[in-house]
Amino acid sequence: MRFDEILTNDDVLDGLWDMHFDECTPIQEQAIPIIMEGNDLLACAQTGTGKTAAYLLPVINMLADGGYPEDAINCVVMAPTRELAQQIDRQLQGFAYFMPVSGMAIYGGTDGHTYDQQRKSLKMGADVVIATPGRLLAHLNMGYVDLSKVSFFILDEADRMLDMGFYDDIMQIVSKLPKERQTLLFSATMPPKIQQMANKILHNPAEIKLAVSKPAEKIKQSAYICHESQKLPILKKIFEENPPQRVIVFSSSKLKVKNLARELRDKNIRIAEMHSDLDQSKRDDVILDFKAGKIHVIVATDILARGIDIDDIEMVVNYDVPREAEDYVHRIGRTARADRDGRAVTFVSPEEFSKLKRIERLLEKDIPKEEVPDELGGAPRMSRESNIRNGKTRHFRKASGQSQNKRNNRRRNGSKDRNRSSNEQAQQTVPV
């Protein structure tokens, strides 16, 4: 379907024409007519499907047609991170280039001058305010933000916001909104907590659910089954054999990111960190230096997994297995863009076996396993699925030279003592 079949404002269509936007993506084709009809919407669609345009374009179209108050906040878009808020704002500026629709991104990590600019814009009433929950709530609590005329309230990556602990902030913001509004909720996943929030803030919503797309075929995926202590040596060896040029390494926590970056700097790798402790100017500098080739490796939390537009990434490393299988898709989706080749490597400790299995079930295939280098010592092994059906467990066997020798001796001696054999094997049972 073409945009000129579902959008009505000529200025909006002119902007799309200049940006070479012709055909709708599936989420845009389904969502735009629903939004244009004034219905609330609950949509499940992952990053990269075009969902930002799916909600911005109809809202801009309706604002441009008129009938909304001037010098007031008419639309609020909530985003989980500063980076995503900035990206949404950039798209808004492009879409609304030919029309008098104003927008302002509101986020933390800025200096006093930027805060004053945000305060003035909020007082004057930007048409579209794109904000992180914490920073918008901080402005609200100062008493100069009026949300009483908001017609559109949009939650982007709602699952991510709840994971980051923003539920209470969001509900406080909702309490300041008029009851007569159009609410749009977009989420990459639809866990029960999203459904519960949707039930509270949406009114008879239409629902759209797009299947989670699989990673690009050009991504060469592999995994190392290893102990936690082996992860860093494996990573260093990978970088020694293939000096990194454009690599993102994802880790589970800020502390791990900082420690890992310090260790890799000792190997004379041009490296930078990306996590929530960095202020906005520093984050921007990291992204610019990475794009310019001044930095070869970014070590990051999942703050970089969604909503960041960086092309030609040669490799993504999951130093820790992501908690949600869908997040794995988001992470490795940073590479193999624009029909390029890419590589995704995942380190899996015994405590993360169940997470790996969930990812493989989502992908509907096994991720090829790499051998841990011999000089790094014995590695854990994943055994075949057990026959225990009711418990839904999988058994994992820790391989060691000693246990292997014992098994070989028993075979040579013709031992048939199965009970002793099973006791001598170090078994781990991990629920899936």
Taking the C-alpha atoms of residue 90 and residue 104, their distance in angstroms, rounded to an integer, is 10
Are the C-beta atoms of residues 144 and 122 closer than 8 Å to each other? yes
Taking the C-alpha atoms of residue 201 and residue 75, their distance in angstroms, rounded to an integer, is 15
| The predicted structure's pLDDT at residue 339 | 66
Nearest of 370, 374, 363 to residue 329 by alpha carbon:
363
Judged by average pLDDT, the poorest of 199-208, 280-289, 350-359, 398-407 is 398-407
Q: Are strands 393-398 and 380-382 parallel, antiparallel or unpaired?
A: antiparallel
**Going edge to edge, which strands form the sheet with 315-318?**
271-274, 297-300, 247-250, 315-318, 342-348, 219-225, 369-370
What average pLDDT does the chain have?
83
**How many residues are recorded in the chain?**
432
Taking residue 291's Cβ as centre, other Cβ atoms within 10 Å add up to 14
What domains appear along the chain, each with residue ranges and CATH number?
A: 3-209 (3.40.50.300), 219-372 (3.40.50.300), 393-431 (no CATH)
Nearest of 372, 354, 364, 400 to residue 223 by alpha carbon:
372
Burial class (CB in 10 A: 0-12, 13-18, 19+), 408: exposed
At 129, give phi and psi (nearest 5°): -105, 120
Taking residue 414's Cβ as centre, other Cβ atoms within 10 Å add up to 6
| The predicted structure's pLDDT at residue 305 | 65
pLDDT band at residue 272, thresholds of 50, 70 and 90?
A: very high
Read off the pLDDT of residues 364-399 as tens digits, 9 standing for 90 and up: 899 999 999 999 988 898 764 422 223 333 333 334
Q: Would you list the DSSP string of 139-175? A: HHHTT----TT--EEEESSHHHHHHTT-HHHHHHHHH
Look at residue 93 and tell me whether its pLDDT is greater than 70: yes
Judged by average pLDDT, the poorest of 52-56, 179-183, 217-221 is 217-221
| The predicted structure's pLDDT at residue 230 | 96
349-356 mean pLDDT? 93
Read off the pLDDT of residues 232-257 as tens digits, 9 standing for 90 and up: 999 999 999 989 989 999 998 889 99
Look at residue 313 and tell me whether its pLDDT is greater than 80: yes
| The predicted structure's pLDDT at residue 127 | 93
Read off the pLDDT of residues 391-417 as tens digits, 9 standing for 90 and up: 333 333 334 444 444 444 444 444 444
pLDDT band at residue 121, thresholds of 50, 70 and 90?
A: confident
| The predicted structure's pLDDT at residue 362 | 83
pLDDT band at residue 23, thresholds of 50, 70 and 90?
A: confident
Which structure tokens are listed for 27? 């989420």
| The predicted structure's pLDDT at residue 419 | 43
Taking the C-alpha atoms of residue 267 and residue 245, their distance in angstroms, rounded to an integer, is 14
Look at residue 74 and tell me whether its pLDDT is greater than 70: yes
CA 329: distance to chain centroid? 9
Say what percent of the chain tops pLDDT 90.
48
Q: Which residue has the higher pLDDT, 331 or 75?
A: 75
| The predicted structure's pLDDT at residue 385 | 43
Look at residue 304 and tell me whether its pLDDT is greater than 90: no
Say what percent of the chain tops pLDDT 70.
85
